[in-house]
Structures are given as C-alpha cells and as structure tokens.
Amino acid sequence: MAKKRVRDYREEYDNYHGTPEQRHNRSLRVLARRAYEKEHGDQTGLDIDHKKPLRSGGGNGENNLRAISIKKNRGWNRGQ
C-alpha cells in the first residue's frame, strides 16, 4: 500500500503562490472580479469564471468573465 503524500502548503506558497509574478496575477484576477461585481451587482453564491481559461490565452476583461454556480465552476476536471 502506497503512503499518501502530505501536502506542504508553506513550501507551495514560498515556491509558487508567493512569487511576485503569481501575486501580480492574483491581484489582476481580484480586480477583475471587483469590476464585474460593480457592473453586475453582488454575485454571492457564484464564482466569477473565465470563459476562455487564462492558461489558454484568455484574459481578465469583462468579455471573458461570467458568473456561474460554484458547483459548476469547481466541479469539472481541471487536469484537462
């Protein structure tokens, strides 16, 4: 039986999420969400989703954002 690897969140943050580039990217996503909510009202209970994923060349512009249910946004296989 294989041992389950314990995830080291501190190391993950230090090596990836805490880098200046990733902090800047996160800031841009937060600003895009705030602008979307200002234009469309409170989106409590919904996720702001990118129609075309950022990793596929999509951006944070209003034309690429939509509000969808949390279950739908977080439920599909992100590995594809």
**Domain boundaries defined on the chain:** 11-75
pLDDT, residue 43, reads 86
For 77, phi and psi rounded to 5 degrees?
Answer: -75, 110
- pLDDT at site 65: 94
Partners of 67 in beta bridges: 48
Give the pLDDT confidence score for residue 73 in this predicted structure: 86
Which pLDDT belongs to residue 77?
61
Which residues, 6+ apart, have CB-to-CB distance to 54 below 8 Å? 25, 60
**Residue 47: beta bridge partners?**
68
Mean pLDDT by 10 residues, the chain (80 residues): 87 93 94 92 90 92 92 72
pLDDT of amino acid 79: 52
Please tell me whether residue 28 adopts helix, strand or coil conformation. helix
Query: What per-residue confidence (pLDDT) applies to 78?
Result: 59
